[in-house]
Chains A and B, each alone.
Chain A
Amino acid sequence: MKREVSKIGIFIYDCESKLKNVLSISEVCSKLEGLGFVCFESPASHFNEAMSDFEKYLKDNEMLKVVIAGCDSRSKEQIFKNSLKKVGLSPYWVNFVNLNEAIGYKEKKKATEKAINLVTQAAKWIEMQEIIGTQKVLLNQKVLVLGGGIAGIETALTLTEGGLDVILIEETSHLGGGAVAVENLKGLVKSKIEALVNEKKVRVINSSHLVDLDGHVGRFTARVEGEQKLIFEVGAVVVATGNELILPIQELDESSGSLAIGQKDLENRLSLSKDVPQRVCFLIDLVDEDLKISTQVLLKQALAVKEKFGSDVICLCRDLKVSFDGGEKLYEKAQEAGVLFFKYTKKPKIAFSDEIVKTSLINEDYPHEKLVFESDLLVVNEKIMPGRGSNALAESLSVDLDSKGFFQSDNVKLLPTFSSRRGIFFVGGCRLPQNINETLSEARATAAEIFSFLSKEEIELDLTSAKIDSDKCILCLTCIRTCPHRAIVVDQEEETAKVIPLACQSCGICVSECPVVAIELPLYTNAQIIGQLNDVVGEAG
């Protein structure tokens, strides 16, 4: 094997003599020198010393590629990469070996052999490492926000505060979404809408919706239809389309008529200062019992009804979900005001007759008895459903919905607001029904996330993304189908599949799925991986 002897250095450091006690570093070094590498034994005795020693080593020696071996986890590699960058070397030409692996061997001879093996493997890997090129990428610094509810508005406003332009598309004829109808949010929503319409960096387009999204992060093309057909070039897309409330009719009786209303209806009545009858029964958790928002609304409304109209107020729920800021206090306040609470496990029975609702349940707390409440009005929580257009929108965005039909696929790494595609985000009720503070926080968090990659007009990208050999590609589309990030497209002119470097997250799934071995992942090539499989100690003789 031909080796550029002087160009690959091996830098070994010990950790409080941990290595010296179990293996022979000099033997490791001499063996590697024998294989044609230049070995350097750092006098450093722990990581921080090794770091400064390493920087000195880089200055003193003209190395192209380096293997660093020490008693640390591989995560330390990144820190060494930073030093390589500092002195102007490619950070990709370094490979870290965790010698703790060898320390676990009981015999000194075996531990030394293992260390030789590990370092040689790492050297082989880095020897095969090719140059990682760079590419200048222009970014469109506009952001498309879908949805003019509070989530969309707050995201848009925050984006402008960071200097980005925003196009906000709203399906209906007005801004504000569901929060407009909520008594204690009206003021906040109104001021936000005002700020938005006065903001020069935002263009609001009402009564319109997205029909198609093409391209990728930094360079999306969005087709919008409504009163007019429009096309926009944007760098990122925020989905904030909210959700829909549906009265759980199937849980109630068909004869309920106007005796049973949803929390939203009650909110409207309260804000219009309409009268509320003498006996009001709130019954929640018939549906969506795992959403705390219904309890939050319940407490607020029960208290309002009690205080405004002096009604007899009874609240029935499966669980009193007070896990929101000020929840427990609100509960106490309602109790003090004379609102009564009962919990159930088995769903209560509801009967409607002669303008009266009878609700019967088995009380959970002691005494465990059957209770029957008569009331003039029954208020239930609506079922919160994904927005009506979610399916179609998900399709045009090429993103997945979760098992309930809300945005965001079921994956922990996407939380809180990421999608499977770079540059597309989900905020607020369209991904998870939530309260105002949570929504505002998510909106700002997403804006911050967008600043982090769109605050520059042009970036230099390291090409660590997958590479497709156009000569080998048979355009079977397997890679396009299997790429979880939608980072591969068809290049019609060249008749090949093509990776979009900015959208690619370098997972290598396409590489392993390609039937004609036309794809390589530059930092983990097939040759590099296969090179690790055989026993190098045997080879070295």
Chain B
Amino acid sequence: MNSKEVAIIGGGVAGISAAVALTDIGFMVHIIERDVQLGGHATSFACKATDKCSKCLVCVADELVLKASQHPKIRVLTGSEVMSFSGKPGDFELRISQAGGEESLFKESVLKIGAIVIATGFMPFNAEEKKEYGYGKYKNVITASDFERAIRANGAISRPTDGSAPEKITFFQCVGSRDESIGKGYCSKVCCSYALKLSKLVKSEIPESDITIFYMDVQPTGKDFLKLRESCEEMGIKFVRNLPSKIYGYADSDFMRVNNLNNNTGEVVQDEFDLIVLSVGMSPQNDVKFLANTFKVDLDEHNFFKGLKQSTNLSNTPGIFLAGACQGPKDIEESMAHGRAAAAEVVKMLREQ
């Protein structure tokens, strides 16, 4: 019986929140992380503060990751993946393989644990699937993830073609969300929030820049979202309700052309931009089917793990818990709460044992 040990699959914000909560309660936690380091997506994102904090929670995620990496009761197994599992709640055996350092040999080991928390997170939507936007073809078309990473790594808001400051910037919302034609008939919840915060950041760093956000509906998250939207409008950021259907590139130019329907006149308007940011949504991880099979856990129609009605932390298999965006799109705040809530569910189950 190893009910005082828990395995968490995925070392992103949700997994780490669960891990820290569990260790604080007295558990020993093993985090199985596929990547070479802890942190998941959130630690590649940029702080979006302008004159004050924008509540993007990236710094909160950073501190959380740091806390987990220093924690004596959290064992982080980086470069490791699940192979198979057996046993019953309170008494599981999890077989994992871990990349063995320089010789790149894989080392197999078995963890004896009482519960498993799946917290594998999400994948940013692969923007190449939306061929009409020319991601990968036009250099100045980037995804919001690319943009975040660039700002975090070198603080620069620049267009990829020549590294200079962009003049006309646009955000395309709902790329890989609310789009049944590509099997993404769900809202990713986070994109409006990050796009508005990023656009505000760009505008305050480059005041002369011209920014347009193309959208369907503005999806609010967190406290005081209206203030964020109004401050964007006050700064001169334009909101256009309609998603352009295509991006046209020019040879030897930093600019691209976008055709869009004007709702007032019904005419097609042409506009040019030198940086187009695709607000990509959250897609399920690519190995969810393998994990679903291994743990006999159901997926929903969009391939997120299916949480039970009474608690989205519970899967249909007792002893296997869900945390964070692997159960459905969530922002950092919600993922943290969901991770901690998963810890509470683990406590409950192991107490009932």
- The residue among A327, A408, A448 with the most chain B CB atoms within 10 A of its own CB is A448
Given contacts A412-B60, A452-B21, contact A291 B220 (CB under 8 A): yes
Cα–Cα distance between A432 and B264 once the two chains are bound (Å): 36
Cα–Cα distance between A447 and B311 once the two chains are bound (Å): 14
**Are A413 and B219 within 8 A (Cβ)?**
no
* A311-342 at interface with B (beta carbon < 8 Å): 319-325, 327-329, 332
Given contacts A328-B186, A444-B311, A444-B313, contact A162 B226 (CB under 8 A): no
Stretch in contact with the other chain, from B90-98, B133-141, B291-299, B331-339 = B331-339
**Are B224 and A404 within 8 A (Cβ)?**
yes
Given contacts A365-B263, A412-B57, contact A441 B229 (CB under 8 A): no
B70 close to A (CB within 8 Å) = yes
Cα–Cα distance between A368 and B24 once the two chains are bound (Å): 57
**Are A417 and B337 within 8 A (Cβ)?**
yes
A289 close to B (CB within 8 Å) = yes
Q: Report chain A residues within 8 Å CB of B189.
A: 323-324
A449 CB → nearest B CB, Å? 6
Cα–Cα distance between A162 and B26 once the two chains are bound (Å): 12
**Are B225 and A290 within 8 A (Cβ)?**
yes
Given contacts A412-B55, A412-B59, contact A444 B340 (CB under 8 A): yes
Given contacts A412-B57, A416-B337, A445-B338, contact A321 B217 (CB under 8 A): yes
**Shortest Cβ distance from A75 into B: residue:** B66
Cα–Cα distance between A365 and B329 once the two chains are bound (Å): 28
A291 CB → nearest B CB, Å? 7
**Are B241 and A448 within 8 A (Cβ)?**
no
Stretch in contact with the other chain, from B118-126, B153-161, B345-353 = B345-353
Pick the contact of B178 from A78, A322, A412, A453 — CB < 8 Å?
A322
**Shortest Cβ distance from A291 into B: residue:** B220
A512 close to B (CB within 8 Å) = no
* Contact digits for A429-471, partner B, Cβ 8 Å, 1 yes 0 no: 0011000011011111111110111010000000000000000
Pick the contact of B351 from A82, A163, A445 — CB < 8 Å?
A163
Given contacts A292-B220, A323-B219, A412-B59, contact A162 B348 (CB under 8 A): yes
**Are B241 and A455 within 8 A (Cβ)?**
no
Cα–Cα distance between A445 and B346 once the two chains are bound (Å): 12
A82 CB → nearest B CB, Å? 5
Cα–Cα distance between A69 and B226 once the two chains are bound (Å): 48
**Are A161 and B55 within 8 A (Cβ)?**
no
Chain B contact patch, size range: 35 or more
**Shortest Cβ distance from A446 into B: residue:** B340
**Are B328 and A452 within 8 A (Cβ)?**
no
Cα–Cα distance between A290 and B217 once the two chains are bound (Å): 11
A402 close to B (CB within 8 Å) = yes
**Are A366 and B340 within 8 A (Cβ)?**
no
**Shortest Cβ distance from A363 into B: residue:** B263
B182 close to A (CB within 8 Å) = no
**Are A403 and B178 within 8 A (Cβ)?**
no
Given contacts A82-B70, A415-B57, contact A322 B224 (CB under 8 A): no
B38 close to A (CB within 8 Å) = no
Contact residues of B with A, CB < 8 Å?
21, 24-26, 53, 55, 57, 59-60, 66, 69-70, 72, 178, 180, 185-189, 192, 216-226, 229, 241, 261-266, 310-313, 328-329, 333-334, 336-341, 343-345, 347-348, 351
Listed from nearest, the 7 A-B pairs whose CB atoms lie closest are: A452-B24, A445-B340, A444-B341, A290-B226, A78-B70, A290-B225, A323-B219
Contact residues of A with B, CB < 8 Å?
75, 78-79, 82, 85, 158, 161-163, 188, 289-292, 319-325, 327-329, 332, 343, 364-368, 402-404, 406, 408, 410-413, 415-417, 431-432, 437-438, 440-449, 451-453, 455
Q: 14 A-B Cβ contacts within 8 A? A: A75-B69, A320-B217, A322-B178, A323-B188, A366-B266, A412-B53, A432-B223, A437-B312, A438-B337, A443-B341, A444-B344, A449-B21, A451-B21, A451-B344
